[in-house]
Homo-oligomer: A and B are copies of this chain.
Amino acid sequence: MLNESSNDKPVYPIRTAAKLLNISVHTLRMYEKEDLILPFKKSSNHRLYSRNDIDRINCIRSAINDSKISINGIKTIYAMMPCWEVLNCSKEDRSKCSAFLRHSGPCWAVKGDDTICATKDCRNCLVYQEYGECGSIKNFIRNKLTSL
């Protein structure tokens, strides 16, 4: 499904990533605390960013700076994504999952539910990787609803 390319490999330490993006190291940590991004963590807890991470963050920056969407706005847009359709969650899975109902933030920010996602690393999840902007989210909804 997902082709494991070199763009997925976590290679940039936080300082390098910050330089590539022309932002401060702290801003990167802030985006993470706000559940916008899920950088790779080494065993030492140090972060590493992939080329795809950089592209994703550039997209977030454009939403904030060009489209003037606030961080909480972005989180709410992420919450619109029907993740259960991507993962083909069962009715029972869905009933146990707060991401199914909530509209306050992305599914990958949900912790503690007893779902099929509980043990997964969201960083490797199709939902996180492919639906990180409003365009692709609306695309998904539109395609799902009109292909019936």
A: residues with CB less than 8 A from B are 67-74, 76-77, 79-80, 82, 84-85, 94, 100-101, 103-104, 134-135, 137-138, 141-142, 144-146, 148
Contact = CB atoms under 8 A, between A and B. Distances in A.
Nearest to A144: B145
Given A70-B69, A73-B69, A73-B72, A80 B138 contact: yes
Contact of A77 (B71, B77, B85, B94): B77
Q: How many copies does the complex hold?
A: 2
A74 to B, nearest CB: 7
Nearest to A64: B70
**Which of A67, A76, A100 has the most chain B CB atoms inside 10 A of its CB?**
A76
A142 to B, nearest CB: 7
A144 B140 CA distance: 14
A18 to B, nearest CB: 24
Q: Which 6 A-B pairs have the closest CB atoms?
A: A73-B73, A70-B70, A68-B72, A69-B73, A103-B138, A103-B134
Nearest to A94: B146
A135 B68 CA distance: 22
Given A146-B94, A148-B148, A141 B72 contact: no
A130 to B, nearest CB: 16
A100 B104 CA distance: 24
B77 A74 contact: no
B76 A134 contact: yes
